[in-house]
A and B are shown apart, each in its own frame.
Chain A
Amino acid sequence: MSLPLRLLHALVPTALAVAIVAPVLPPAYFGPIPGAVAKALLQISIKQTWGMYAPDPQRAQTYMELEALYDDGTTAMLAETADVEHGWGTTWAWRKTRMDIWKFYANFHPERRNDHRTWYLRSVCVREARTGHVPRKITMHHVKRRFTPPAKVAAGAPGLGAPDRRLITVAYCNTSPAREMIEADRRLHPELYPANPEVSEDVNPEVSPDG
């Protein structure tokens, strides 16, 4: 093989090495290059951000608690709330589903906007609509328990702190785009919806959200 051809061949591993290393380089020294490479790789779902247990491991665990309010004034706690009741013991692979990971992302940044949370709650609107009862609104609380530092546990304190519950956000199922998502889902999968005329009233576009 001639040298130019070998140089061309060498470009393949060189490009791969750049794609592996560049996204983790500090932008303070390398400017926009790490971000640009990371953005390009994200198109094909490759992420080179390896922040496992960084900058610190979690020192508290948070679960979401979802409460639905219906048009008739009744309320119900949704399935997610089971984590708040049962999520403080141990975990094994067979008890996890991939939806747990989405819930984990949806809990990020309680103080500010989180698109993952917004889309999660819209999805919950669709999921609940399939039961025949569309919530008017869904209230999300976070229930957080801190992990007690080892010195205190060694002195006899419990491993987990007391639950701290606080309001995070309210999502409305009869506003756009949740309403359109439900309508499209019902058109696409009528078999998933109970034949109940009350249901269609729940997604009436003229119903205005409260609050």
Chain B
Amino acid sequence: MGSLDRLLGRIWLDPEDPTALGLVRIAVVAVLTASLLTHTGAVAEYFSNLAPLQGEWAREAFPSRASVFFWIDDPWAVRAIFAVGVVAHVLWLVGRFTTAASIVAWIVWMSMAGRSPLLYSLPDQLQMVMCTLLMLMPTGRGLSLDARRHGPKPVPVWCRRILMIQIGTLYTATGFLKSGPTWHRDFTALYFTLVNPYNRHFDAAPFFAALQPWVLRPITIVVLWWEILFAAFVLLHALRSVLGRPRWFVDLRWPMLGFGVMMHVGIQIALYVAWFSPLVLSGYLAFLTPDEAKRLVARVTGRIRRRTAS
């Protein structure tokens, strides 16, 4: 019984300092808030009865979805709910009334994505997923106004572990789904991604074609295997944490996450992918230990203080 209890604690329930989770909250909710604000000016046209697809036909078109906007569709009511959502995001970001704010923010996202799901692409899926996961976690216990008021409280280790599992699942699932010849035979997948006029930032096919044999081809292979192996990395990282981070157990975070950072920065520079890159990189903060998060926060706040003092 005692060993089961200890295992349960190591894997899911042991308490830890809330700084790392608070840092994830700030980064992810900042991205969610920015993404939400890009709807401003088109809220009624997207989600109210001003949309060309509205009323009973909207419900018929998307029968498997739940949304407040299926039932409240007056344009000004929809705009008001959106405005409440913006306020909820700001409160969630600064960590004031965090639990209530996160629930309201989640209801607004679910309602937007449910009312008009075809306005959201595959990269947008991650917004809804991260919003839901963070809403279910005690994210206001660290780096928040709530914590400043009531004092920081520990959070269970499962919060960061669940975020790691989410990121690992995302990469490995997509790695296994990449079964076509551009990934496994010609190794031209990156080339074709970079030259797609639907989302390319640069019209430079001859340049990318020149890079194909020496640069894009090997990177295509590395990206594929990095994605496929990411879940194994998450498992090894979790095992290392459960064992108490022994010295002999090599820390794979820097090569794995370092490559991920370079890849997503590259994607962000080369392609339009909505909010995917900043969101997934915000999720990487879940791999920081609370001590590392504290050091990072201390470094950033120290730098800000020095700047404001001089």
Contacts and interface: CB of A to CB of B under 8 A. Distances in A.
A89 B195 CA distance: 10
Interface residues of A, number: 75
A153 B8 contact: no
Interface of A: 3, 6-7, 9-10, 12-14, 16-17, 20-21, 24, 39, 42-59, 61, 87-93, 96-99, 101-102, 104-106, 115-116, 119-120, 122-127, 147-151, 153-154, 158-160, 177, 181, 184-185, 188-189
Interface stretch (B18-26, B82-90, B128-136, B139-147): B128-136
Contact of B52 (A54, A93, A127): A127
Given A47-B125, A159-B195, A189 B4 contact: no
B158 A13 contact: yes
25 contacts: A3-B1, A12-B158, A13-B161, A14-B12, A44-B66, A45-B65, A45-B110, A46-B125, A48-B169, A52-B123, A53-B174, A54-B178, A55-B177, A56-B181, A58-B192, A58-B196, A61-B197, A89-B203, A91-B197, A91-B199, A96-B272, A119-B61, A149-B188, A154-B206, A189-B50
Contacts of A119: 53, 57, 61
B195 A181 contact: no
B64 interface: yes
A97 B40 CA distance: 12
Contact of A150 (B11, B165, B212): B212
Contacts of A159: 195, 203, 205-206, 209
B166 interface: yes
Given A149-B188, A150-B208, A90 B129 contact: no
B81 to A, nearest CB: 16
B55 interface: yes
B114 interface: yes
A153 B216 CA distance: 14
B87 to A, nearest CB: 21
Given A10-B8, A50-B170, A154-B210, A98 B42 contact: yes
B205 A148 contact: yes
B250 interface: no
Contact of A91 (B169, B179, B193, B272): B272
**Closest 7 pairs (CB-CB, A-B):** A159-B205, A56-B180, A13-B158, A54-B177, A153-B209, A55-B180, A45-B113
Counting chain A CB atoms within 10 Å of each CB, which of B39, B51, B169 scores highest? B169
Counting chain B CB atoms within 10 Å of each CB, which of A10, A54, A127, A148 scores highest? A54
